Structure 1
Amino acid sequence: MIERNLLIGNGINIEFSGNDDYKNYKIIERLTQNICTNKYYDVFQGTLNQDDLKKMIILLNEEFNKIAETGKISSTWLKTKSDCQTLMEILARYHGESQNILSIGMEDYFFIMRLLNNSVGNTDDTMETLFQGLRYLFLDAIYNNGEIETLYEKMNCYKKELLKYKNIFTINYDANIDKLTNKRIFHLHGSFNVLDDTYRPETIIGYLALQNHSLKVIPKLKHIYCNGIMGYSGEYKMERMERYSSGNMAINKLMHLSDQEREQYYTQLKSSTKESDIYVAKVIKACLAHPELKYNEYPIKQFENINGELHIIGMSPNNDSHIFKMINENPHISNIVYFSANDDDTKNIQKVINKTVQIRNIFKYWKSLIA
């Protein structure tokens, strides 16, 4: 019997919400409403106020429109091949037209922030700090005061269908499918219910953060400190997903070294003037003192190892190129079924997946569940 696997995107939340709450424009609308309050004062520890946050979103919108309208940008703003590719995709997607704040894709805001960061020569560390702040705002807007986590109550008609799949993967942060099926769901981009390693003292990063007294989670906003990944390109997201897996591989390799080799490596890193080397030295010291410390990995291997049939529901072909790359590189996927919402998605999915794809109408599919 052929193994059946399912990959779910945000379209399922849009369908079962019965309204527009989880469409792009509505999420950004909530973000703009949230930043008009003092909700995030403690999150940013007073370094940014509501006026600063409003100015930031307006600036990103203005810069986006300058680029979209002219198609011109200084080469110094583009540092990598991925930057050039992402820019070309954005220019094609928006057809050179200016957009209001609500009509720009969420993750395109991260790309404009990256370009601005490149233009002033900020370091990667500075960019990550800026990304983290923007990520907090978007995660909170998606969370919708917890309303998103109640959608499973409207999904009973979908339960029987979901139980037909051996493995279910999602790029959503909510746990609705987890609650509905009572089975393990693989969250490729993280989950609102899982804190990032930075805030988990049982992980390497969290342990080191605790030593520096930098662990701080605001209970009523706990969800923004989750391990949810957001970014401007598939390449960026994949790098984030692989970071913790690579960390665990490096630790395992370290533990197989002789005591003398480890000591030499540790001494070399500790005496370095590079902050990255000094941090790795701290990681080595922590692992030797507490061998149980690890990184909390994203379920990349589980997704890469699926075989048989893969159904894709509620996921746009215009984002998450890293997911489609893993699908293309898996020779054990024998059949792909994509549930399409429109002709553009039908056309584009066959551009990003280089295997034979069966197309089914998503609206007919939803209707069949309640028939």
Structure 2
Amino acid sequence: MDHLARLQEFFRSLFQFDLADLDFGLYRLFRIKQDEIEAFITAQLPREVDAAFAEVSAGDKEYLEREIERLTQQIQDNLTDDAILPGGEIAPAYADTRVGRAYTEARRKLRAIEVTEGHKAEVFNHLVTFFSRYYEEGDFIPRRRYGARETYAVPYRGEEVFFHWANRDQHYVKTHERFLDYAFTVRDLTGAYRVRFTIAAASVPRDNTKGSRRYFFPRPDSAAYDADSRAFTLPFEYRLPTPEEAGAYGSNSQAQEAILEEAVPRILEAVPDENLRALLGQDQRTEQDVADGKPEMPLLLRRLRHFCRRNTSDYFIHRDLRGFLTRELEFYIKDQVLHLMDLEADLDAKRRVVRT
């Protein structure tokens, strides 16, 4: 996978294109805007990078051409008319003079100004690295990052007393047990299937207070399939585990995952349509996941995880995400792109990458 394809794949993951068939909330908006987002990722993004490099290169070229013209005039005024050879090079006799060295260096920079694929790859890699700092396990987490070794940076301005917390400038949104239906669509050559998760029964803590941990239990024995509408409905119970279930699955944060993994084969057995069963059993791992040795992840398990997480996870909304990312990008460029040890060696190339 080349650098551009890696960036495009990352953005598709960031915008959760794999959930584009969901039909509620923010995902409905993503589905409506998916064609526009895909057009930006596929066509507009590489085009804008090319245009930015062209603009930067054109400006640098114009500057260097004026500089060479000025140095040429200076050489003719202070040396001799034959100091510059017909091919444009400085005559060897004058190559070691101060103006001769400046003229040679300006011509070298002009020849090297063309953008290489390496420069573009560096931009694409930096974009992936920058956004990856805030993307964690499917969530975008806007926390201030500092350097390659440090974890976070606090924007301290010298106050005598300064209060800071991890979710500063973010609004906390607490989930409530509304238990809205969760529906998605899968397709094959025969057409579309509709899959819906519903809550058949729920035992919730009073006033949404925290108490004993409750879990989602699928009920494949009560699942229903309508062949005419090609719709499969899977009910759930949200409740405390029985003593036997607590012993089998545990009572910590991993219990819900164990419940879902154990239920997947039973749910697939409850699907009467062979095509739908095959679609729900498709492995969702990426090539990198397979290379890393991660276990198989059927589409059904992925959707079950998302359904449970959607109903139980609190989250934060940043009040000025664009401003936050703009400030973070400025710091990232200074800290991660413009390494002091590299400036002397490739200042012009670095400058073009930064300006892009």
TM-score above 0.5, yes or no: no
Q: Which has the higher contact order (CA 8 A, sep 6+)?
A: 1
TM range (shorter): under 0.3
Q: When you count strand as a share of all residues, which structure comes out higher?
A: 2
Q: Which has the larger radius of gyration?
A: 2
Normalised TM-score (structure 2)? 0.25
TM-score (norm. length: structure 1) = 0.24
